[in-house]
Amino acid sequence: MTLSNLPLLSMLIWTPILGGIWVLIAGDRQEETVKYFSLAVSFITFVFSVLLYCQFDASVAGMQFVEETNWISAFNIKYHLGVDGIGLPLILLTTFTTILVILAAWEVIENRISYYMCAFLILTGLMNAVFVALDAILFYVFWEAMLIPMFLIIGIWGGPNRVYATIKFFLYTFLGSVFMLVAFLYLYSKAGSFNIEILHDVPLGLTAQKFIFIAFFLAFAVKIPMWPVHTWLPDAHVEAPTGGSVVLAAIMLKMGGYGFLRFSLPITPDASLFFSDAMIALSLIAIVYIGFVALVQEDMKKLIAYSSISHMGFVTLGFFLPFAIVAATGENSGAIMGMEGAMMQMISHGFISAAMFLCVGVMYDRLHSRMIKDYGGVVNSMPYFAAFMMLFVMANSGLPGTSGFVGEFLVILSSFKASFWIAFAAALTLILGAAYSLWMYKRVVFGDVTKEAVAELKDINAREGLILFLLAIVVIMFGVWPAPVFDVMHATVEELITHVLQSKTL
């Protein structure tokens, strides 16, 4: 077997899962072994994803690295994997984040470390699988199975109110997903197949499309999350351990966006057109209203959680703008720009929100508080940390030169082609984002040291420095040179837009 015909996608799924099972069996007795082994597994998985990136042919719009075997032959359900320009960047994001999460847990997690590592490794495998599954039922199985490790992560290692938060998280996302399942079953009764590519082409009446769109909407809007079904996110984020918050914000939210691109838009294009104005309105509410909500938060994690919702508003805005742009200008180049901007926003937000949560985690490990008022003047005792955090806060507010700028800018630019007012509302985020991010930063990091505990804070150690340094590199690199992301997705997005703009009613 040569390097080029390895079943890379399966390896991306099963390496971390099998590694996780091994970690669980090894147990807590060999704590050091468990940690290094988990790190090695996550690194190997990352290497696989880089190999995948290197061998990916960016000029092809369709699925690559396709693997197909029978799984449940009685119903023609297949173990069918493939990756395209939309899934690939998200896989890289996933595998990269996993390394950080495992590093971040090193000395912090004290009880049941093997469970913790196992949960995250299995979670990684499942998340990779969600991004490559090409069979609707296979997708659903991974999508739901993912809830189990996350449920345990929040519930076992979370904060004081963790039980409420984790059950709310589970039931909320479960509620959304089961309707997606019913939609899949309905589609199967029409198309006779669960193959996603076949579902993309099955003709459907407008009424049916509307119902399917709503079912998908419930699943993905809860996950991403959109206003008004976002309420689980602040709770889950606040109570989750740092690693849990990072994975939630960096990857799990992206699955909602991925779902819109993979299912809602191509399977129900006419309903998407029908609902696009409503979707744009909801996105703008998320951007503006949730931005204001973030402004008044006193808990840093909650603030970042709301900022995530606001940023995800850009993603959904970018996804549903194409209809308005094409209606206004008659050409789809602006639409492609908007959608690529939204994709870029997903990737960039993955890195930035991970960095922000890790920063809060660094402070929380020292003072055991997430409240802004418990800090103040951190720069005096932790100068290196303050410098890193500065960069990430700037990126969060969309400073040019950081990755946070690229996505937002492209989405705002393309929304100008649709309507001035959409662009105007979206651009408010530049003010709001800067306001809540920088104001928090000011209150936490600058000012006089009034509290003794803050004065005694130790600056970041080498491990924490490494994590933040890796993220800083990525954030700046994609800020000045985003081409590696755009190149791989361009062909796929173009194809998607063409597909979405064609009616498929009966």
Kindly state the smallest distance separating residue 53's Cβ from another protein, in Å.
28
20 binds another protein (CB under 8 A): no
Kindly state the smallest distance separating residue 140's Cβ from another protein, in Å.
7
Spatial contact of 126 and 138, defined as CB atoms under 8 Å apart: no
Task: Spell out, one character per residue from 153 to 192, where the chain touches another protein: x when CB under 8 A holds, - when not.
Answer: --xx-----xx--xx--xx--xx--xx-xx--xx-xx---
Kindly state the smallest distance separating residue 8's Cβ from another protein, in Å.
22
Nearer to another protein, 75 or 421 (CB): 75
> Which DSSP letter does residue 261 get?
I
Number of residues that bind another protein (CB under 8 A): 34
Task: Spell out, one character per residue from 126 to 145, where the chain touches another protein: x when CB under 8 A holds, - when not.
Answer: -----------x--xxx-xx
Spatial contact of 77 and 133, defined as CB atoms under 8 Å apart: no
How far is it, in rounded angstroms, from Cα 379 to Cα 151?
35
* Residue range at the interface with another protein (CB under 8 A); choices 66-74, 238-246, 264-272, 377-385: 66-74
How far is it, in rounded angstroms, from Cα 465 to Cα 459?
9
Nearer to another protein, 199 or 326 (CB): 199
C-alpha 258 chain-centroid distance: 9
Taking Cα atoms as reference points, which of 255, 248, 217 lies closest to residue 232? Answer: 248
Nearer to another protein, 164 or 420 (CB): 164
31 binds another protein (CB under 8 A): no
How far is it, in rounded angstroms, from Cα 204 to Cα 503?
10
Nearer to another protein, 70 or 461 (CB): 70
Nearer to another protein, 72 or 473 (CB): 72
Nearer to another protein, 167 or 428 (CB): 167
**What kind and span of H or E run contains 34?**
helix 31-55
202 binds another protein (CB under 8 A): no
* Residue range at the interface with another protein (CB under 8 A); choices 72-80, 325-333, 355-363, 440-448: 72-80
How far is it, in rounded angstroms, from Cα 291 to Cα 304?
10
Kindly state the smallest distance separating residue 211's Cβ from another protein, in Å.
8
Within 8 A by CB and 6+ apart from 469, the residues are 388
Kindly state the smallest distance separating residue 144's Cβ from another protein, in Å.
5
Kindly state the smallest distance separating residue 185's Cβ from another protein, in Å.
4
Taking Cα atoms as reference points, which of 302, 284, 286 lies closest to residue 294? Answer: 302
Kindly state the smallest distance separating residue 32's Cβ from another protein, in Å.
20
> Which DSSP letter does residue 446 get?
S
* Tokens describing residue 71: 């799984």
Exposed e or buried b per residue across 83-111, where buried means at least 16 C-beta atoms within 10 angstroms of its C-beta: bbbbbbbbbbbbbbbbbbbbbbbeebbee
* Residues paired with 79 in a beta bridge: 69
* 148, 202, 328, 470: which one binds another protein (CB under 8 A): 148
C-alpha 467 chain-centroid distance: 19
Taking Cα atoms as reference points, which of 363, 362, 381 lies closest to residue 372? Answer: 363
Nearer to another protein, 136 or 467 (CB): 136
Kindly state the smallest distance separating residue 168's Cβ from another protein, in Å.
10
74 binds another protein (CB under 8 A): yes
Kindly state the smallest distance separating residue 155's Cβ from another protein, in Å.
4
* 22, 43, 53, 71: which one binds another protein (CB under 8 A): 71
Which residue pairs, CB below 8 angstroms and at least 24 apart, start in 321-326? 321/276, 321/280, 321/411, 321/414, 321/415, 321/418, 321/422, 322/497, 322/500, 322/501, 323/272, 323/273, 323/276, 323/501, 324/276, 324/277, 324/280, 324/418, 324/419, 324/422, 325/414, 325/417, 325/418, 326/501
Nearer to another protein, 154 or 358 (CB): 154
C-alpha 343 chain-centroid distance: 10
Nearer to another protein, 215 or 248 (CB): 215
75 binds another protein (CB under 8 A): yes
Nearer to another protein, 43 or 211 (CB): 211
Nearer to another protein, 255 or 488 (CB): 255
Kindly state the smallest distance separating residue 26's Cβ from another protein, in Å.
13
Residue 133 phi, psi (nearest 5): -70, 135
Kindly state the smallest distance separating residue 111's Cβ from another protein, in Å.
10
296 binds another protein (CB under 8 A): no
Residue 420: Cβ within 10 Å count:
10
Nearer to another protein, 212 or 445 (CB): 212
- Positions 429 through 468 that interact with another protein (CB under 8 A): none
Nearer to another protein, 152 or 246 (CB): 152
Where along the sequence are the contacts to another protein (CB under 8 A)?
Answer: 71-75, 137, 140-142, 144-145, 147-148, 151-152, 155-156, 162-163, 166-167, 170-171, 174-175, 178-179, 181-182, 185-186, 188-189, 211
